[in-house]
Amino acid sequence: MVGLSHVALRRLITDYMPQNASTHWPTEMLNSRRVPGENLKTTPETLRRSEEAYLVPQILGNEEIPIQKSVVRLVNEWGASGIDINMGCPVQKALKHNYGVSLMGDVDYAANVVEMTKKYSTVPISVKLRAVGSEKSIPQLITFVQRLVDSGADWITLHPRTAEQKRRGQSDWLQITELKKAVKVPIIGNGDIQTADDVLLMMNETKADKVMAGRALAARPWMVWQLGEKLGFQAPKIFLNQKAPTTPNEEGAEYGRSLLKLIDYSEESFMQDAGASESITLRKLQFYVRTTHVWLEFGHTLMAACSRCQNLIDLRAAVTLFFQNEQAMYARTELRQ
């Protein structure tokens, strides 16, 4: 997720990973026209810690040379375990360049991008896409995906909302079920995962091979710990012999603790390791609060306080003050943006 799936948030979620559990980590989408010329060690979007594994950077692109250069760099120099192709981004900038969700408008064009990526990649490649057309036609989706698979896609992540829906409205899990039945490669289901129970529900209902959680996992990074408890995993190393937060107040308090940690991790990675400015780091943290505050009962108050901050000292003080009062976190919300 642009602005969110960065090294600091991955580190925070990793703290909550049960022992012996692992996951794939998508990155923010990376423009294939920019990756070839960027310093991957200092660009905030491509920062990584050496101990990170199973990183799957997502690229946005439609031209062979930039895709080739990006893939080769990301795999050989950066250590990608897989390459994901973005076919879901509906923002105007992507549409203008005819990539992102535009690729879904023409199956030959989309298949060509998959072929190009596959040609230069020595690691598996995947495609993240949306529901097809305003009618959300399942047969059309299956035909489309089958072509991508024939062109070299090793797995597919489906976010079953249409481009018009953006990220609002309900995610149509039936599309995940039908796609899973129809194609042979692994399917990752995405959309509307707000709690650990939702992960199990989606897997049960759709038979998806894996589940991808976006916004709610950012808000509730301990969701992986809660899920681990349900599946019989041992608690995360740094929370040994403790139980995952579950009540609204326990989760509210955890949000505060994890946000303070995210500030520390962001300062370390962006400012100390990569030399980014404090204002860039602050903006990333404010964006995190803007996206995730909707799960907090009085999240709008936190967001307003964080928006007023001019530096990280102010931000830490605002967060600390807000969480001096007991705060509750909703299991689910319709207010996601």
Ligand X SMILES: Cc1cc2nc3c(=O)[nH]c(=O)nc-3n(C[C@H](O)[C@H](O)[C@H](O)COP(=O)(O)O)c2cc1C
Residues in contact with ligand X by CB under 6 A are 1-4, 28-29, 58, 86, 88-89, 128, 159, 167, 190-193, 213-216, 291
CA pair distance 326, 194, nearest whole angstrom: 22
Buried b (16+ CB within 10 A) or exposed e, 178-197: bbbeebebebbbbbbbbbbe
Q: Least distance (Å) from ligand X to the CB of residue 312? A: 21
| Closer residue to ligand X, CB minimum distance, 203 or 253 | 203
Given a contact cutoff of 8 angstroms between Cβ atoms, the answer to whether 113 and 61 are in contact is: yes
Please give the DSSP secondary-structure letter assigned to residue 5.
Answer: S
Buried b (16+ CB within 10 A) or exposed e, 219-233: bbbbbbbbbbeeeeb
Q: Least distance (Å) from ligand X to the CB of residue 290? A: 9
Q: Which residue among 29, 60, 89, 306 is the active-site one?
A: 89
Given a contact cutoff of 8 angstroms between Cβ atoms, the answer to whether 157 and 171 are in contact is: no
| Closer residue to ligand X, CB minimum distance, 258 or 323 | 258
Q: Least distance (Å) from ligand X to the CB of residue 287? A: 7
Closest CA to 226 of 16, 13, 21: 16
Q: Least distance (Å) from ligand X to the CB of residue 234? A: 26
> Which residue stretches of the chain are H helix?
7-15, 64-72, 92-96, 107-120, 138-150, 173-182, 196-206, 215-219, 223-231, 248-266, 278-292, 299-307, 312-322
Q: Least distance (Å) from ligand X to the CB of residue 176? A: 12
| Closer residue to ligand X, CB minimum distance, 163 or 323 | 163
Query: Cα separations (Å) of 38 from 32, 46, 149, 319?
Result: 10, 9, 30, 34
| Closer residue to ligand X, CB minimum distance, 187 or 323 | 187
Task: Tell the burial category of 150 from Cβ atoms under 10 Å away from its Cβ (0-12, 13-18, 19+).
Answer: exposed
Q: Least distance (Å) from ligand X to the CB of residue 283? A: 13
CA pair distance 149, 107, nearest whole angstrom: 12
Residue 89 annotated to the active site: yes
Given a contact cutoff of 8 angstroms between Cβ atoms, the answer to whether 211 and 202 are in contact is: yes
Query: Cα separations (Å) of 300 from 51, 258, 297?
Result: 36, 18, 8
| Closer residue to ligand X, CB minimum distance, 70 or 86 | 86
Q: Find the residue with minimal CB distance to ligand X.
A: 214
| Closer residue to ligand X, CB minimum distance, 1 or 271 | 1
Active site residues: 89
